[in-house]
A and B are shown apart, each in its own frame.
Chain A
Amino acid sequence: MTSLRVRLSITVVVVLIAALVYISFRTVERAQALLEPELESKAATVADSTAALIGRALDVGIPFDRIEGLNAYLGRILDNNPDLATIVVRDASGRAVYGAGGALDASARTVTAPIGAKDNRTELLLVGLEPSYARRIVSALWVDLAIIMLVTALIALELIYVGFGTGLYGAIEGVEKRLRTLRRGDLRMHLPVESGSEFERIAHALDDRLKGLHETYASFRERASERGDHISQQALDLVRHRFGLGEAMIAAPMSVIAVRAPLFVFMLAEELTRPFLPVYIRQLATPIPGLSPEFVVSLPMVAFLVVVALAQPLFGNLTDRLGRRRSLILGAGLGLVGYCAAAAVTGLIGLTLARVVSALGFAFVFVSAQGFVIDATDIRQRSSGMAMFISAILVAGLCGPPIGGILADRVGIAATFVIAGLFAAASLVLAVLCMPPDSARKEHAPAVRWRDFAPILASPRLTGLFFLCAMPAKIILVAFCFFLVPLEIGALGVTQATTGRMLMIYPVAMVLLVPVFASLADRWDMRTGFVVIGGLVAGASAFAMLLGADQIAPLALMLFGLGVGQAISIAPLSGLVGELSRELPTDVSETSVYGIFRLFERTGSAFGPLIAGALLGLYQFQMTVIIIGAATGLSALLFGALIGLMRQPKVGVPAPGV
């Protein structure tokens, strides 16, 4: 059974399609009424101008049927005016002597102009209007409208529970989960549901039925154990394996969902700026002596990423003390100020400061949302809670750039920054509405313990993983997706909406392929292999630029290759951190190793635009991309070689006495 959330999102898409088709048809009607008189006026101007030109040729004595190059000239007029379908020059008998475009459509409107009328000539020039021009204008918008529908459905999927309220939605989803598991014979107990609603009553009734069965099972188990009845125990084991009796579902509690809407909406605000940020910085940038313009463009982005990288480990304790809800509200407020300030600034320094404020907001929101999930889950539920956290960020990454691009094209970059600020404000409101008040402070060990750096860096394999895989993965991601591609597409002269659509390629590949490769890497127990292959594929994607640096298709191929490469490596990379951390001294906690791993990743992110900007100042786009790609691939290979060299030989342990 498809969940209520998915079915409601499908509903949103269906009703939106109906509404958008209706609006589009109405727009076509209105466009025809507005454009047709103007089209006729323009056609008349074209006809008069061309007839006058032919008249001048006739005035200087060129015979009417020997005007050289007239067909090509008429062809050029049609090429430059897509609103015109045909131009025909007829002689006195009505025979078409010159012309361009197809045959005159009987239904098409035409405009005529006499040629050489003052000399009593009777030749005629006809200009036929393109009958479907208004419809073509509106249908050209359909790509963007389709993206709006997709994004709206995804947003609905994320936010639908806000309408019901977290408690009630939790009860509805809880009932759905129970029905789903019951249908496939999975009779494990579920986490209790509390909402004070009819759905809670139903969930309790279902739980009571399950509880009765589990209690009977437990009493039988106890009796069998007391009697030492192995046959009964085996029979009970079989029942347990088959139905999950005596077991409970491991899932994040529904309270975790409270942070999803504010987190998603805030991330959406930041993602809106992706397609145009480098272009905007370039517009505001003024030359700095000794620095290339491309390097200068990277500076506000570097400032943002450095602040995020440095603030995240420091904000862990701060959000502990302030409370998760209050911290998220503070972060959203800072985001609102930062995005609105970015819209108002007129220079590079102002923009950099605005981005620093946004970065502080981003770090607050990220850390408090992550902390909220950690607070609400125990260690067994953590993965499921973090999956919810990560999927909210990924979906925002999918939805933000195309909408940001469309908005930047239509209302301008500054206005889109203001809209991003409004999204941050919406995140603030959602945090107030959805998140529970901060309770007593929970003590957590710090995510990064500085004294753990030494033993971690003393491990060649972990150091290799951090420097040769984790950092390059973030460098290439930020350099390509956030910096080089938006700049290059801007230089190609295509719209911001196109940039936004291009930036969807990477998250789409990730969302679809990460679960597939994660499960394969686990099943085949080949994490190192997947990390190396992923790095090679991501690096090799850069060589798509050899197919043509100034075309959209190779850029799309490159982003797809990057997405596939990182989808192959991202989950195994994370898993490998845990695997390799087992060789560390026991006082180094896994949490700390992961904290340091994330710090390396964020440092890589901060280096991304810096390296790309420096290289772009020295070389062209194509060479810059290839250097970064080759370095990423080479790093992955080096890591593979390092692991291969350090692999402990499997020596058979001699039997005692041999």
Chain B
Amino acid sequence: MIRLALRTLPVFAVIIGFAMALAAYMNFSGVRSAYLDLIRSRMSMMAEDIANDIMTANEIGIRLPEQTTLPALLARQTVTDPLMLSIDVVSEGGDTLFSSDAARTGKKDDAAGDGGAFRYVRQIVNNFGAPVGSVVVRLDRADIDQRIDSLRFEIMTGALPAGLAAVIAGSLVCLVLLTFLHRHARRSAFDPPANDWIHRAAGEVAQIEPRLQQ
């Protein structure tokens, strides 16, 4: 019987394994999405505040390259956040006009080559709808990825023993069910109760026999 129950192990392993993998992935991906949404939402608020300041200055006639108080503002916003690589203000032509990271000032902003950064870009347009430039908030992608990888590892390592336990529990219950069925079937086949239906039917058939022998 144990051998029989063990034969269900591969099927339980495949079915429960698929369900557990999907469930674990959904848990992971739900939390990852929430985490990235939180980060994006915070980045968008930062970029929005800076863009508002830039537009206010622009409205009173200070052109973007002339807004020389921006580096201090960008530095203040950056310093409190350990994930922050830099906040840049980029001209319409793609040149970094101001940055919290002095080394980036004056260089071209290369979004495609900036793989190490998790970026959020907020376009700035003047009152006539003409583009003025953009605010680029850059966070450390490696740090974010490392946190997400750690989340993935912990959820998956939690799912693995739970899945194994589920497979073993399934097989154990299978063993119990098979044993019960086997015992019940053996009794019906080899040691039936005197009042079971076959005996009753045989009794009824036997009642007809005397008449046939007359």
- Which residues of chain A have a CB within 8 Å of any CB of chain B? 4, 7-8, 11-12, 15-16, 18-20, 22-24, 26-27, 30-31, 34-35, 38-39, 41-42, 44-46, 49, 52, 81, 83, 133-134, 137-138, 140-141, 144-145, 148-149, 151-152, 155-156, 159-160, 162-165, 168, 172, 175-176, 178-179, 182-183, 185, 187, 198-199, 202, 205-206, 209-210, 213, 216-217, 220, 223-224, 227, 229, 231-232, 235-236, 239, 242-243, 245, 403, 406-407, 410-411
Inter-chain CA distance A31–B36, complex, in Å, is 12
Interface-central residue, A30, A49, A134, A407, by most chain B CB under 10 Å: A30
**Contact string, B7-46, partner A, CB cutoff 8 A, digits 1/0?**
1111110111011101111111111001100110110011
Residues of chain B with a CB closer than 8 A to A242's CB: 201, 204
Given contacts A141-B26, A163-B11, A227-B212, contact A30 B198 (CB under 8 A): no
Partner of B155 from the list A23, A52, A175, A411 (CB cut-off 8 Å) is A23
Given contacts A141-B27, A148-B19, A229-B212, contact A35 B188 (CB under 8 A): no
Q: Is A26 touching B155 in the complex (CB atoms < 8 A)?
A: yes
Partner of A38 from the list B28, B42, B190 (CB cut-off 8 Å) is B42
Q: Is B31 touching A34 in the complex (CB atoms < 8 A)?
A: yes
Residues of chain B with a CB closer than 8 A to A156's CB: 11-12, 15
Inter-chain CA distance A410–B28, complex, in Å, is 10
Residues of chain A with a CB closer than 8 A to B9's CB: 163
Partner of A20 from the list B8, B23, B38, B208 (CB cut-off 8 Å) is B23
**Contact string, B203-214, partner A, CB cutoff 8 A, digits 1/0?**
011011101100
Partner of A163 from the list B8, B38, B45 (CB cut-off 8 Å) is B8
- What is the minimal beta-carbon distance from B136 to any residue of chain A, in angstroms? 17
Inter-chain CA distance A140–B201, complex, in Å, is 59
Residues of chain B with a CB closer than 8 A to A243's CB: 197, 201, 204
Q: Is B198 touching A15 in the complex (CB atoms < 8 A)?
A: no
Q: Is A406 touching B22 in the complex (CB atoms < 8 A)?
A: yes
Residues of chain A with a CB closer than 8 A to B151's CB: 30-31, 34
**New A-B pairs, 10, CB < 8 Å, besides A15-B173, A23-B159:** A30-B31, A34-B147, A41-B81, A44-B80, A134-B31, A141-B27, A182-B197, A227-B212, A236-B208, A403-B22
- What is the minimal beta-carbon distance from B208 to any residue of chain A, in angstroms? 5
Q: Is B162 an interface residue (CB 8 A)?
A: yes
Q: Is B38 touching A159 in the complex (CB atoms < 8 A)?
A: no
Residues of chain A with a CB closer than 8 A to B25's CB: 410-411
- What is the minimal beta-carbon distance from B157 to any residue of chain A, in angstroms? 9
Residues of chain A with a CB closer than 8 A to B165's CB: 15, 19
Inter-chain CA distance A358–B187, complex, in Å, is 51
Q: Is B16 touching A182 in the complex (CB atoms < 8 A)?
A: no
Question: Which B-chain residue is minimally distant from A11 (CB atoms)?
Answer: B173
Q: Is B185 an interface residue (CB 8 A)?
A: yes
Interface-central residue, A11, A19, A38, A145, by most chain B CB under 10 Å: A19
- What is the minimal beta-carbon distance from A148 to any residue of chain B, in angstroms? 5
For window 79-118 of B, CB contacts with A under 8 Å fall at: 80-81
Q: Is A179 touching B15 in the complex (CB atoms < 8 A)?
A: no
The DSSP consensus for interface residues of chain B is helix
Question: Which B-chain residue is minimally distant from A181 (CB atoms)?
Answer: B197
Interface-central residue, B42, B169, B189, B196, by most chain A CB under 10 Å: B189
Which stretch from B59-67, B120-128, B176-184 is at the chain A interface? Answer: B176-184
Residues of chain B with a CB closer than 8 A to A26's CB: 154-155, 158
Residues of chain B with a CB closer than 8 A to A49's CB: 45, 48-49
Q: Is B181 touching A4 in the complex (CB atoms < 8 A)?
A: yes
Residues of chain B with a CB closer than 8 A to A22's CB: 158, 162
Q: Is B35 touching A152 in the complex (CB atoms < 8 A)?
A: no
Q: Is B133 an interface residue (CB 8 A)?
A: no
Q: Is B19 touching A149 in the complex (CB atoms < 8 A)?
A: yes
Q: Is B166 an interface residue (CB 8 A)?
A: yes
Q: Is A163 touching B26 in the complex (CB atoms < 8 A)?
A: no
Partner of A31 from the list B31, B200, B211 (CB cut-off 8 Å) is B31
Residues of chain B with a CB closer than 8 A to A133's CB: 34
Q: Is B186 touching A19 in the complex (CB atoms < 8 A)?
A: no
Q: Is B163 touching A239 in the complex (CB atoms < 8 A)?
A: no
Residues of chain A with a CB closer than 8 A to B72's CB: none
Q: Is B194 an interface residue (CB 8 A)?
A: no
Q: Is A18 touching B166 in the complex (CB atoms < 8 A)?
A: yes
Inter-chain CA distance A206–B27, complex, in Å, is 50
Q: Is B198 touching A38 in the complex (CB atoms < 8 A)?
A: no
Sorted nearest first, the 9 A-B pairs with minimum C-beta distance are A163-B11, A205-B189, A163-B8, A152-B19, A27-B27, A19-B162, A42-B42, A15-B166, A19-B166
Inter-chain CA distance A573–B75, complex, in Å, is 76
Inter-chain CA distance A185–B128, complex, in Å, is 90
Q: Is B2 an interface residue (CB 8 A)?
A: no
Residues of chain B with a CB closer than 8 A to A31's CB: 31, 34, 151
Given contacts A11-B173, A52-B49, A182-B198, contact A35 B208 (CB under 8 A): no
Q: Is A39 touching B38 in the complex (CB atoms < 8 A)?
A: yes
Question: Which B-chain residue is minimally distant from A31 (CB atoms)?
Answer: B31
Q: Is B29 touching A159 in the complex (CB atoms < 8 A)?
A: no
Partner of B8 from the list A24, A164, A229 (CB cut-off 8 Å) is A164
Inter-chain CA distance A18–B164, complex, in Å, is 12
- What is the minimal beta-carbon distance from B181 to any residue of chain A, in angstroms? 6
A-B contact pairs, 8 of them (CB 8 A): A8-B177, A138-B30, A163-B11, A163-B12, A175-B181, A182-B196, A185-B197, A406-B22
Residues of chain B with a CB closer than 8 A to A149's CB: 19
Question: Which A-chain residue is minimally distant from B84 (CB atoms)?
Answer: A41
Partner of A239 from the list B14, B147, B201 (CB cut-off 8 Å) is B201
- What is the minimal beta-carbon distance from A627 to any residue of chain B, in angstroms? 39
Q: Is B131 an interface residue (CB 8 A)?
A: no
- What is the minimal beta-carbon distance from A33 to any residue of chain B, in angstroms? 9
Question: Which B-chain residue is minimally distant from A163 (CB atoms)?
Answer: B11
Residues of chain B with a CB closer than 8 A to A178's CB: 185, 188
Q: Is A12 touching B31 in the complex (CB atoms < 8 A)?
A: no
Q: Is B4 an interface residue (CB 8 A)?
A: yes
- What is the minimal beta-carbon distance from B184 to any residue of chain A, in angstroms? 7
Q: Is B45 touching A4 in the complex (CB atoms < 8 A)?
A: no
Inter-chain CA distance A42–B19, complex, in Å, is 35
Q: Is B130 an interface residue (CB 8 A)?
A: no
Q: Is B35 touching A38 in the complex (CB atoms < 8 A)?
A: yes
Question: Which B-chain residue is minimally distant from A235 (CB atoms)?
Answer: B208
Residues of chain B with a CB closer than 8 A to A403's CB: 22
Question: Which A-chain residue is minimally distant from B190 (CB atoms)?
Answer: A205
Q: Is A175 touching B185 in the complex (CB atoms < 8 A)?
A: yes
Inter-chain CA distance A175–B183, complex, in Å, is 12
Inter-chain CA distance A201–B49, complex, in Å, is 81
Partner of A159 from the list B15, B178, B211 (CB cut-off 8 Å) is B15
Partner of A410 from the list B26, B159, B192 (CB cut-off 8 Å) is B26
Q: Is A198 touching B16 in the complex (CB atoms < 8 A)?
A: no
Q: Is B185 touching A206 in the complex (CB atoms < 8 A)?
A: yes
Q: Is A168 touching B49 in the complex (CB atoms < 8 A)?
A: no
Given contacts A31-B31, A34-B35, contact A176 B212 (CB under 8 A): no
